[in-house]
């Protein structure tokens, strides 16, 4: 078990006023060693806190008194100070198994930790969940959580997870729901395995046993060229239509019996099927945005309606003092934070770089501006291959291939969703691309402003 290392101290905060500095380690708080940043917050949430500090091998105690509601002002280096609970499932559709070799090590970590589910919205299967975990979730109110379901039939779920505990671990889902914990569920649909009859059975199981779920996202599997699983393949157009039809029929059932839709199909299904997206109103508050549900409609609303402000969850870590942003909630790029500085006033033609799926979403939006000097440049994902077409998985290698054929002197807009910490998944940075790009937030309103900013 490690201890939290301080990475930054807020100016004029109580911590800075008491001489706390970055690089020091917190050995204990009020005599207790925190296991994670959740426990860290509970320990520091007192008007008087005693920190045991290690500063280059020199130990000292610092007593801090502060007013109620005033943050301590410390950011630590990680969310978990004990070991992350790794996943012991072996799902055929797991994308981590489909990554090429040579990427940074953090991308290969498979976690199944309910704490990361609460903090960052990661999905957990609950196969490693225990009685003590349940007690902690209920006592500390760790809600909402995100649970991978995939199938409600015990044998089918065990088959999907390749783990016999998959057959019984949904009992924890019942306990969480019965005790008032908000849970968002997910079903990854694999053609020929848990679609058709099995998807119908799963939705019936949700209605019978887990109707207290806040939402249930039905999403297609991603298949890269690196998969070694012979049963894994993309959906056909016909299969995508069948999934949508099934989901929408169950939406009607849930709406009639619960007063809400509960289950939703991912935007990718509508793109694969060539169908129009449901109305924006049907997505409510876009709670499943980051699971690919309602992204297109939310982006459209941002693009056309200056007054529309979608609640953009910065992660539940934002409500936990000291928790660092990690994973897909990490800062995308230092460039995107500069905002208006990047918008160049110029009459140069504009090219919007996006994935193949993004192209279908953006095309009618850009066309509505009636601008002959604006075009969309689709970036085919050769790096991962397969059916990977989302913008968030664009890598530097594919951008190099595409931009090398593009003219100089144009403005190239790149959404920051394909960056994490200023780097693409393949480790490259925007500065290594053959054309200068403007990294902009992945937001409809910001894109529109960037497109019209060249009007002098």
Among the residue ranges 76-90, 247-261, 288-302, 337-351, the one predicted with the least confidence is 337-351
Q: Mean pLDDT, to the nearest integer, of 381-400?
A: 96
**Cα 3 to the chain's mean position, in Å?**
26
User: Which band of pLDDT confidence, cut at 50, 70 and 90, is reported for residue 1?
Assistant: low
Q: What is the pLDDT of residue 337?
A: 39
Residue matched to tokens 């691309």: 433
Q: What is the pLDDT of residue 338?
A: 40
The CA distance from 327 to 322, in Å, is: 16
Q: What is the pLDDT of residue 318?
A: 67
Q: What is the pLDDT of residue 323?
A: 81
Strand partners, 377: 353
User: Which band of pLDDT confidence, cut at 50, 70 and 90, is reported for residue 138?
Assistant: very high
The CA distance from 290 to 22, in Å, is: 32
User: Which band of pLDDT confidence, cut at 50, 70 and 90, is reported for residue 339?
Assistant: very low
CB of 353 within 8 A of CB of 413? yes
Residues 6+ apart with CB under 8 A from 230: none
Q: What is the CATH number of domain 95-327?
A: 3.20.20
Nearest to 49 by CA among 58, 34, 61, 37: 61
CB of 354 within 8 A of CB of 377? yes
User: Who has greater pLDDT, 310 or 372?
Assistant: 372
Q: Mean pLDDT, to the nearest integer, of 356-367?
A: 95
Q: What is the pLDDT of residue 73?
A: 93
User: Which band of pLDDT confidence, cut at 50, 70 and 90, is reported for residue 307?
Assistant: confident
Q: Mean pLDDT, to the nearest integer, of 229-233?
A: 96
Nearest to 94 by CA among 108, 76, 79, 80: 108
User: Who has greater pLDDT, 395 or 341?
Assistant: 395
Sign of the CA dihedral with 90 first, then 394, 329, and 435 last: positive
Percent of the chain predicted with pLDDT > 90:
81
Nearest to 145 by CA among 104, 179, 117, 175: 117
For the record, the structure tokens of 446 come out as 């910001």
Residues 6+ apart with CB under 8 A from 247: 203, 218, 263, 264, 265, 269
User: Which band of pLDDT confidence, cut at 50, 70 and 90, is reported for residue 30?
Assistant: very high
Q: Which fold has domain 6-76?
A: Pdz3 Domain (2.30.42)
Nearest to 26 by CA among 44, 56, 52: 52
Percent of the chain predicted with pLDDT > 70:
94
Nearest to 451 by CA among 306, 334, 299, 346: 346
The CA distance from 166 to 155, in Å, is: 8
Q: What is the pLDDT of residue 313?
A: 55
DSSP of 327-381: GGGS---TTGGGGGGG-----S-EEEEE-HHHHHHHHHHHHTTT-TTEEEEE---
Q: What is the pLDDT of residue 290?
A: 86
Q: How many CB atoms lie within 10 A of CB 139?
A: 8
pLDDT at 188 over 50: yes
pLDDT at 176 over 70: yes
For the record, the structure tokens of 12 come out as 């004029």
Q: What is the pLDDT of residue 311?
A: 67
**By CB neighbour count within 10 A (0-12 exposed, 13-18 middle, 19+ buried), where does 263 fall?**
buried
Q: How many CB atoms lie within 10 A of CB 407?
A: 10
CB of 78 within 8 A of CB of 323? no
CB of 272 within 8 A of CB of 390? no
Read off the pLDDT of residues 403-448 as tens digits, 9 standing for 90 and up: 999 999 999 999 999 998 899 999 999 999 999 999 999 999 999 9
CB of 86 within 8 A of CB of 63? no
């Amino acid at each position: 078990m490690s201890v939290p290392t301080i990475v930054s101290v807020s100016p004029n905060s109580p911590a800075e006023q008491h001489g706390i500095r970055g690089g020091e380690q917190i050995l204990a708080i009020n005599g207790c060693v925190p296991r994670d940043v959740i426990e860290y917050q509970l320990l520091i949430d007192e008007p008087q806190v005693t920190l045991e500090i290690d500063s280059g091998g020199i130990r000292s105690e610092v007593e801090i008194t502060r007013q109620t509601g005033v943050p301590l002002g410390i950011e630590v280096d990680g969310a978990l100070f004990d070991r992350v609970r790794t996943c012991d499932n072996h799902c055929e559709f797991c994308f981590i198994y489909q990554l090429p070799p040579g990427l940074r090590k953090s991308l290969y970590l498979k976690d199944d930790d309910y704490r990361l589910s609460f903090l960052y919205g990661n999905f957990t299967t609950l196969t490693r969940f225990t009685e003590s975990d349940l007690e902690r979730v209920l006592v500390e109110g760790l809600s909402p959580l995100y649970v991978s379901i995939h199938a409600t039939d015990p044998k089918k779920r065990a088959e999907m997870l390749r783990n016999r505990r998959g057959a019984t671990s949904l009992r924890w889902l019942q306990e969480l729901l019965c005790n008032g914990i908000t849970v968002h569920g997910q079903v990854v649909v694999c053609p020929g395995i848990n679609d058709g009859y099995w998807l119908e059975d799963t939705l019936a199981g949700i209605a019978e046993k887990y109707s207290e779920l806040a939402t249930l996202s039905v999403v297609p599997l991603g298949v890269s060229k690196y998969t070694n699983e012979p049963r894994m393949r993309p959906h056909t157009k016909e299969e995508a239509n069948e999934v949508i039809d099934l989901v929408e029929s169950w939406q009607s059932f849930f709406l009639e019996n619960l007063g809400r839709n509960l289950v939703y199909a991912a935007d990718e299904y509508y793109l694969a099927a060539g169908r129009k997206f449901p109305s924006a109103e049907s997505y409510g508050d876009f709670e499943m945005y980051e699971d690919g549900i309602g992204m297109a409609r939310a982006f459209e609303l941002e693009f056309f309606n200056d007054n529309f402000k979608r609640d953009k969850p910065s992660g539940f870590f934002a409500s936990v003092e000291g928790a660092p942003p990690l994973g897909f909630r990490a800062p995308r790029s230092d460039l995107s934070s500069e905002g208006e500085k990047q918008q160049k006033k110029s009459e140069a033609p504009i090219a919007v770089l996006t994935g193949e799926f993004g192209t279908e979403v953006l095309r009618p939006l850009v066309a509505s501006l009636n601008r002959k000097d604006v075009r969309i440049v689709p970036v085919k994902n050769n790096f991962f291959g397969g059916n990977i077409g989302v913008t968030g998985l664009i890598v530097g290698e594919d951008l190099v291939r595409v931009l090398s054929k593009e003219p100089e002197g144009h403005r190239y807009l790149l959404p920051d969703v394909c960056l994490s910490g200023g780097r693409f998944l393949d480790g490259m940075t925007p500065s290594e691309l053959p054309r200068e790009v403007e990294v902009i937030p992945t937001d409809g309103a910001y894109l529109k402003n960037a497109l019209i900013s060249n009007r002098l």
